[in-house]
Amino acid sequence: MSLVAISSDRREQALRHEDRCCLCEHRCLANRSAGERGPCKAGIEARVFRHRVECGEEAELIPSHLFYLSGCDLRCAFCIAEANAFDPRRGTLLTAEFFQRAVAWGQTQGARNIQWVGGEPTIHLPAILEVMSSVNELPPVVWKSDFYGTPEVFELLEGVVSVYVPDFKFGNDECAQRIAGVERYWEVVTRNLQLAAEQADVIVRHLLLPGHWDCCFVPITRWLRERMPTVKFSIRDGYLPMWQASQHEDLARLLEPGVGDKAREWATRLGLRVIH
């Protein structure tokens, strides 16, 4: 079961963002109901370009029923979902009927939870809350996000999410702007990590990027040691140079052999709680 029922007041509060959107820190104020589109290009409809039960997540989450939503507020050059992540018109319309059937199917496959992923779920929060409210016995909710959302988002998710899985991608604003096209990345994500930790369990993920040890990985681990030393930390070493990675010299190659083990050893020596 999710932690709390999703009230009509909460859903109505989320729907206000469709008229004046502040779901992510672009804070574009787009009137999505009137057809305006912000940087994420999302409208009022959410679409699922894939859903399936997976066992490739962290051990404590699997089997997990992942719902992949199209559309994103970041533009990461190395995105493994490629065009599906950035075109919110792709996929099956997320309706209560579709979601109810999908959740029931996932439970027959042994799923322990439902997990919202993307693209980016935050930009579709009104639709997500609406369909989740239609399920009487909602499984635990895992929220996997780029964590570029606003504090308003975390207020709407409080008590609904059982586990947050933030992708802590970059250790500085320059890399975030150059590779993902966002400003104030470090300030926003570190703030949101602390907000999430006040609400629910948190598993911080970091995908190792080639050539980004000193600029991204090390600052992230040092910040976690100082501010969130007991948080679960999942280091991912399966980087693939997909989407537009070839346009960036540093991203156009695979990781060097052994970097994942080196990273886990580093984080463990710092005293971080490394999980698999």
- For the stretch 97-130, pLDDT in tens is 999 999 999 999 999 999 999 999 999 999 999 9
Q: Which domain holds residue 132?
A: 8-275
> Beta-carbon neighbour count of residue 249 at 10 Å?
10
188 alpha carbon, distance to own chain's centre: 14
Dihedral angle computed from the Cα positions of residues 232, 1, 123 and 213, in that order, rounded to the nearest 10 degrees: 10
1 in a structural domain: no
- pTM equals 0.96
> At 170, which CATH number?
3.20.20.70
| Total number of domains constituting the chain | 1
207 in a structural domain: yes
Amino acid identity of residue 69, one-letter, is: L
68 in a structural domain: yes
219 in a structural domain: yes
Q: For 144-201, what is each residue's pLDDT tens digit?
A: 999 999 999 999 999 999 999 999 999 999 999 999 999 999 999 999 999 999 999 9
220 in a structural domain: yes
Q: For 3-21, what is each residue's pLDDT tens digit?
A: 567 999 999 999 999 999 9
164 in a structural domain: yes
